[in-house]
Structure formats: C-alpha cells, structure tokens
Amino acid sequence: MRVAIGCDHAGFELKQEIIRLLKSLGHEPQDVGAHDTQPSDYPDYVKDVAEAVRTKKSDMGIFICGTGIGPTMAANKIKGIRAALCHDTFSAHSSREHNDANVLCLGARVIGFGLAGDIVKTWLSAPFTGEERHSRRIAKLMALEQKDV
C-alpha cells in the first residue's frame, strides 16, 4: 500500500519511526516532509498528504504533529478527505470500519512510538465494512462539502 506521510517539526522523530514500521510491513511510504526538526507550519505538509490521497497517488495518508488536532482540522477542509485523530486502537479501527477514514492523524506529544505503531498497524489493516448505514452516513458527510452551511 502506498502511504503518504508527513509531519511538522514536532512530529519529525515519530514520523521517522513510522516510516521504518511501514517499510517493515511491506508498505511504500511517500514522505512529503518536514525533513527536520526546524519549526514548520503543519498546513503546508497536510496539504501535500491530503492531495496525494485525493488524487490517488497514495492509497492512505498519515500526518504527525505535536497533538494531531490542527492537522485533522486542516485535512478535513480538503475535498474528499476524511481525517481521523486517533490516540488509541479502538478509535483507529472504528475510523476505518465505520467512517472509511483515509488520513490518520497522530500526536507525537500525546502518544509514544509503541502505541503509535499499534495504532498505525490497526488503522491500515482495518477494512471499511461497507454496511449500508455507514455508507449512507459517509455520503451525507461528503455532501456537506458541497454546501455553504
């Protein structure tokens, strides 16, 4: 699976660990930056992760910053993106199974590598159920992108 992965300065070290994990699992990480711990602005890199997913250059996306909150907000402003902030495996699994999330956001200052690795593995392996009730809800969610509420 091709996985676009990005971070800001606060997520750089965890991103490097997740890239190693992705490779060990047989996935193809596509690193969009940041490439060091110098202060950077997460929207710049979130845009690149989301665009890779939206245009199908990547199958899924992962973004890491200090808390994961800002990137989740930013990614969900991009048409076609369903980003989920997950700090536990139950939420990771549910975000895929029920919401067909295509971008995972993580907070490096909230969780450590061990838990982050478990979350990533859970998220990537959980399938969308495709059940009618979940599909109906996602269709309504995506319809909100078309409206100026």
CA distances 105 to 17, 72, 140, 149, Å, are 15, 6, 22, 26
Q: Looking at the annotation, which residues are catalytic?
A: 65, 98
- What does the block give as tokens for 87? 């700090």
Question: By three-state DSSP, how is residue 82 classified?
Answer: coil
Compute and round to an integer the Cα radius of gyration of the chain: 14
